[in-house]
Chain A
């Protein structure tokens, strides 16, 4: 079939009119959500698999990333609409440039719930690094400067009056390798990675992150500035679907109010995304071990975010003139601790 120029123009016009005619919150609106293969992203997995996103009018496609930083850049460039990751230095800089906005909270430390662990290599452990008190001058592994590991290491050591050396290794895999072979002395990581490592004997758990940083808001939900201020309908729809997923996760995996059968079912669901390369029987304990609180309703702990921002500024990693308002749009969700 060959279209004349006039027919082509007519078609283009028709298509444009069709686009204009559709309502602001269209059914099955195409939305790209950034995720990583970690249990802390279960809110998105569950919302997608159980149709909560669909119910909110979104046709969600998950896009996977190996690190938080590329995800933040992808949201700034508009390739991804929503993401869940730690408030890293890169995220703050992008927010300062008016590209991204934090709109909700996700993973959080909660006293009484098994959270992130402080690890020591076997060599360092044998040499006396058995608690956070010994961190001064030790080599602490981080992915990059300004990552959540950098924040945790610095805060934990400072609580005991120490200053470790931070060794950037870019990837979580590289940090694990360096810790196992004793090239670095200490690290902190989510429990589903920490516990199997400790079980192997090459690494020792020497503390809980929540003892030093109670209620630490580990990861946040964020989106582009354009979505946060210009497309509030889309943002609200996403948060609705995401919160439903989070509520299921907390009920089943953290508070265990739905019984063991529900746990098994949810582990199966999460296993599609986390440790998918291992058989379910092997992956299940790790996934269950990794159950940490995701904030209900994507609530934001502003006090923790304020503390994180203050640390970034004190370390000279971000501009000291940035205020929390520049980074966070707290109008979408409830806030905790002011």
Chain B
């Protein structure tokens, strides 16, 4: 009995032609492809649902503004010429503040990455500064830097500085050591190694860190314009909020979102240019 059961599964059929099993190709997938239209469909569906909901009364006027009204508000804002007054001031604050914070952050981050004493001294300090809610310091900044533009630049710069530092020294740490050793064995000077190996090697990490810190800069723009700003996108949003004017609130938020997409695209372009060597 047991012998028959054991012998029954025969590995190869002895009767003539071998049956070959087709092996399906299992590779592929897990590789993002460009499907640009999907994003537009997602946006269009969300906006269409909001428009339909507010028109039929399924969504009350208190909950969401009508998307077409928001668009009309944006058109009116453009027609009145105020859009560029708000945008101009906000962009100046954003560019000056973020440029200050990011360049200082990259400089400090690189020195932390390169020098052990600087690392030992500054990493705990940065760790202590990072979790401070910058908005809470706004009244203090007003006393330090005055109520005008300087306090707004300072707030945005401070907010972008810490994440940039952390991203930068992390990126410098992650530079391939074997490349540095190779450079040393070819007799490159220290400065040459930093310039030709460390900085290009750290660039991907620095740029992806910048994506985050620039988004933080946009968030802080609204906070910076809480105190003493009469014009600017953040001031516009805050005013709309205090008047409970949802159309203007969403119009302002939309501008900030567009600003975020624009910044992200710009960094993407910089990445393609600076990191062309990767491909």
Partners in one complex: yes
Contact A167–B228 (Cβ < 8 Å): yes
Task: Name the distance in Å between B34's Cβ and chain A's nearest Cβ.
Answer: 43
Does A72 count as interface, using CB distance less than 8 angstroms? Answer: yes
Provide the A267-300 mask, 1 if CB < 8 A to any CB of B, else 0: 0000000000000000000000000000000000
Contact B245–A177 (Cβ < 8 Å): no
Contact B139–A177 (Cβ < 8 Å): yes
Provide the A183-194 mask, 1 if CB < 8 A to any CB of B, else 0: 110000000000
Contact B243–A169 (Cβ < 8 Å): no
Q: Which chain B residue has the least Cβ–Cβ distance from A95?
A: B244
Contact B243–A145 (Cβ < 8 Å): yes
Does A165 count as interface, using CB distance less than 8 angstroms? Answer: yes
* Set of chain B residues within 8 Å of A99, measured between Cβ atoms: 62
Contact A167–B61 (Cβ < 8 Å): no
Contact B244–A183 (Cβ < 8 Å): no
Does A32 count as interface, using CB distance less than 8 angstroms? Answer: no
Contact A168–B62 (Cβ < 8 Å): no
Contact B227–A169 (Cβ < 8 Å): yes
Contact B142–A145 (Cβ < 8 Å): no
Does B146 count as interface, using CB distance less than 8 angstroms? Answer: yes
Other-chain residue from B61, B142, B146 in contact with A97 (beta carbon distance below 8 A):
B61
Task: Name the distance in Å between A261's Cβ and chain B's nearest Cβ.
Answer: 41
Q: A98-B61, A99-B62 are in contact. Are A183 and B242 (CB under 8 A)?
A: no
Does B147 count as interface, using CB distance less than 8 angstroms? Answer: yes
Residue among B147, B226, B228, B243 having the largest count of chain A Cβ atoms under 10 Å: B243
Task: Name the distance in Å between A212's Cβ and chain B's nearest Cβ.
Answer: 23
* Set of chain B residues within 8 Å of A174, measured between Cβ atoms: 139, 142, 227
Other-chain residue from A69, A88, A91, A178 in contact with B142 (beta carbon distance below 8 A):
A178
Provide the B139-150 mask, 1 if CB < 8 A to any CB of A, else 0: 100110011000
Residue among B139, B147, B235, B245 having the largest count of chain A Cβ atoms under 10 Å: B147
Contact A76–B243 (Cβ < 8 Å): no
Q: A97-B62, A174-B139 are in contact. Are A318 and B243 (CB under 8 A)?
A: yes
Alpha-carbon gap, A309 to B226, bound state (A): 25
Contact A183–B62 (Cβ < 8 Å): no
Alpha-carbon gap, A144 to B242, bound state (A): 6
Does B107 count as interface, using CB distance less than 8 angstroms? Answer: no
* Set of chain B residues within 8 Å of A168, measured between Cβ atoms: 226-230, 235, 238-239
Contact A167–B147 (Cβ < 8 Å): yes
Alpha-carbon gap, A90 to B244, bound state (A): 5
Does A45 count as interface, using CB distance less than 8 angstroms? Answer: no
Restricting to A73-100, which residues have a CB under 8 Å from any CB of B? 73, 76, 88-91, 93-94, 97-99
Contact A177–B143 (Cβ < 8 Å): yes
Task: Name the distance in Å between A307's Cβ and chain B's nearest Cβ.
Answer: 18
Restricting to A112-168, which residues have a CB under 8 Å from any CB of B? 143-147, 165-168
Task: Name the distance in Å between A313's Cβ and chain B's nearest Cβ.
Answer: 12
Provide the B233-250 mask, 1 if CB < 8 A to any CB of A, else 0: 001001101111100000
Alpha-carbon gap, A170 to B230, bound state (A): 12
For chain A, give the interface size range.
20 to 34
Does A258 count as interface, using CB distance less than 8 angstroms? Answer: no
Does A323 count as interface, using CB distance less than 8 angstroms? Answer: no
Q: A97-B62, A99-B62, A168-B239 are in contact. Are A184 and B244 (CB under 8 A)?
A: no
Does A181 count as interface, using CB distance less than 8 angstroms? Answer: yes
Does A317 count as interface, using CB distance less than 8 angstroms? Answer: yes
Q: Which chain B residue has the least Cβ–Cβ distance from A143?
A: B242
Q: A168-B230, A174-B139 are in contact. Are A183 and B238 (CB under 8 A)?
A: no
Other-chain residue from A76, A97, A145, A167 in contact with B242 (beta carbon distance below 8 A):
A145
Contact B243–A166 (Cβ < 8 Å): no
Alpha-carbon gap, A165 to B62, bound state (A): 31
Alpha-carbon gap, A135 to B42, bound state (A): 52
Alpha-carbon gap, A168 to B234, bound state (A): 12
Contact A93–B243 (Cβ < 8 Å): yes
Alpha-carbon gap, A89 to B240, bound state (A): 10
Contact B61–A178 (Cβ < 8 Å): no
Other-chain residue from B142, B227, B239, B244 in contact with A72 (beta carbon distance below 8 A):
B244
Provide the B211-236 mask, 1 if CB < 8 A to any CB of A, else 0: 00000000000000011111000010
Contact B139–A167 (Cβ < 8 Å): no
Alpha-carbon gap, A144 to B228, bound state (A): 10
Contact A183–B229 (Cβ < 8 Å): no
Q: Which chain A residue has the least Cβ–Cβ distance from B235?
A: A168
Q: Would you mind naming 19 contact pairs between A and B with Cβ atoms under 8 Å apart?
A: A69-B242, A69-B244, A90-B242, A91-B244, A93-B243, A97-B60, A98-B62, A99-B62, A143-B242, A146-B242, A166-B230, A168-B226, A169-B228, A174-B139, A174-B142, A177-B139, A177-B142, A177-B143, A184-B228
Interface residues of A (CB under 8 A from B): 69, 72-73, 76, 88-91, 93-94, 97-99, 143-147, 165-170, 173-174, 177-178, 181, 183-184, 317-318
Query: A173-B139, A174-B139 given. 19 additional CB < 8 A pairs?
Result: A73-B244, A89-B242, A90-B243, A91-B244, A93-B244, A97-B61, A97-B62, A98-B62, A144-B239, A144-B242, A147-B242, A167-B147, A168-B227, A169-B228, A170-B238, A177-B143, A178-B228, A183-B228, A184-B228
Interface residues of B (CB under 8 A from A): 60-62, 139, 142-143, 146-147, 226-230, 235, 238-239, 241-245
What are the 9 tightest A-B residue pairs by CB atom distance, in nearest-first order?
A144-B242, A93-B244, A89-B243, A183-B147, A90-B244, A145-B239, A97-B61, A167-B228, A146-B243
